[in-house]
Amino acid sequence: MAVQTLDDLLAEGVSGRGVLVRSDLNVPLDGGKITDPGRIIASVPTLKALADAGAKVIVTAHLGRPKGGVDPAFSLAPVATALSERLGRHVQLAGDVVGTDALARAEGLTDGDVLLLENIRFDPRETSKDDSERLALAKALVELVGEDGAFVSDGFGVVHRKQASVYDVATLLPHYAGTLVAAEVKVLQQLTSSSERPYAVVLGGSKVSDKLAVIENLATKADSIVIGGGMCFTFLAAQGVSVGTSLLQEEMIDTCRQLLETYGDVIHLPVDIVVAEKFAADSPAETVWADSIPADKMGLDIGPESVKRFTKLLSNARTIFWNGPMGVFEFPAFAAGTKGVAEAIVAATGKGAFSVVGGGDSAAAVRQLGLPEDGFSHISTGGGASLEYLEGKTLPGIEVLN
């Protein structure tokens, strides 16, 4: 991409300058504790490089979806603590976004200091559809770093959003792609342009509608598309199979039928399913053939025969993109499908395949199921952004850097 990078900024010199960094620190919390620090870890290299070079680093990020106002449940306080530990230096947390506390702390920064602003989404202007409202917030953010400041975009998970801290600030300051964003775009360019064949795509998750554009765009590029997760039941229904009480998008059945008619030699569906009476960790599981799902049961994972067939497909692949779990991996009884397919991708990677995990639940599954993160070529931090890029959409947060 014809974009200035962090290396360009460091070459110019940042000592004593204010640098605004948009990071993606949107980590899952449970009772105030971070359950998966993946995005924090991924944000560290850019922040560390800037702080080590003497910049006054001001970080902006969001957490969860507060409804356009301050909500203590979504405070970045636990993130500031975790970021301090990972950076090996104290990270201050401002008590507001661009208010008096943020201003006072920004003015008091010395070279190498790191300040994290409170959840950017506590300010409703961040996600406003009104350009002038977003621009007003962007100007307030720019004030914090001063006239000779710079902007580094390093939150790949939000580059598909036209938001004040992602898009508008880049129109006001010299702008650069951080380590993470530059790496993500390079990987996605490789997936869409110079993929080595055979190219296999593994798609899971609950809804066909979420992945429809990706299926349509990649069906002409990939040699095989493996489908699992809740979305497979709409495809099975399109084949005339009864899916019991499984997750089903009835309005998508016709679309799935057309996809199977057009790309039937590319799309691969499960042949067996792990079913249960209810969506619960302790619901007794049984494995049935995909065309024999009992009327009173729901599919919660792909079965062992499907894992075997998908593994065979993946074993020959030279390029693999995986987005979405094969089943309800959070419940041990329904995690084998996701684990089996993930292990097949790790094995293919070990034989030289280029493999990309497309963020979101897939990245969480890798860590939760104890799979080696270095067993994949790349684990993306941005599920939605990855998918939109692969759909062929323009990402506002990338476009504005060009």
Binding residues for ATP: 211, 299, 330, 359-362
Q: Which of 205, 360, 383, 397 is catalytic?
A: 360
Give the CB-side neighbour count of residue 198, counting CA atoms within 13 A. 13
- Please tell me the distance from the alpha carbon of residue 348 to that of residue 315, in angstroms, as a whole number: 5
Q: Is 370 a catalytic residue?
A: no
Strands (E), 178-297: 199-203, 224-227, 267-268, 272-276, 286-289
How far is residue 299's CA from residue 184's CA, in Å, rounded to a whole number? 34
Q: Do the bridges between strand 272-276 and strand 298-302 make them parallel or antiparallel, or are there none, so unpaired?
A: antiparallel
Whether residue 384 lies in the annotated active site: yes
Other CB atoms within 10 A of residue 352 CB: 9
Name the residue among 364, 380, 381, 322 with its Cα closest to residue 346. 322
Q: Which of 86, 207, 221, 309 is catalytic?
A: 207
Residue 358 falls in the annotated catalytic set: no
- Binding-site residues from annotation for substrate: 24-26, 39, 62-65, 121, 161
The strand order across the sheet containing 354-357 reads 267-268, 224-227, 199-203, 319-323, 354-357, 378-379
Pairing of β 378-379 and β 272-276: unpaired
> What DSSP element (H or E) covers 354?
strand 354-357
- Is residue 367 part of the annotated active site? The answer reads no
Rounded Cα gap, residues 130 and 146, in angstroms: 25
Q: Which amino acid is at 231?
A: M
- 54, 95, 112, 384: which one is catalytic? 384
**Choice among 39, 56, 105, 134 that is catalytic:** 39
Which residue ranges are tagged as binding site for (2R)-3-phosphoglycerate?
A: 39, 121, 161
Q: How far is residue 380's CA from residue 356's CA, in Å, rounded to a whole number? A: 7
**Do the Cβ atoms of 339 and 370 come closer than 8 Å?**
no
Are 341 and 329 contacting, i.e. CB atoms less than 8 angstroms apart?
A: no
Q: Ramachandran region of residue 112, left (φ > 0), alpha (ψ -120 to 50) or beta?
A: left
φ/ψ of 331, rounded to 5, equals -100, 120
Residues noted as catalytic: 39, 207, 360, 384
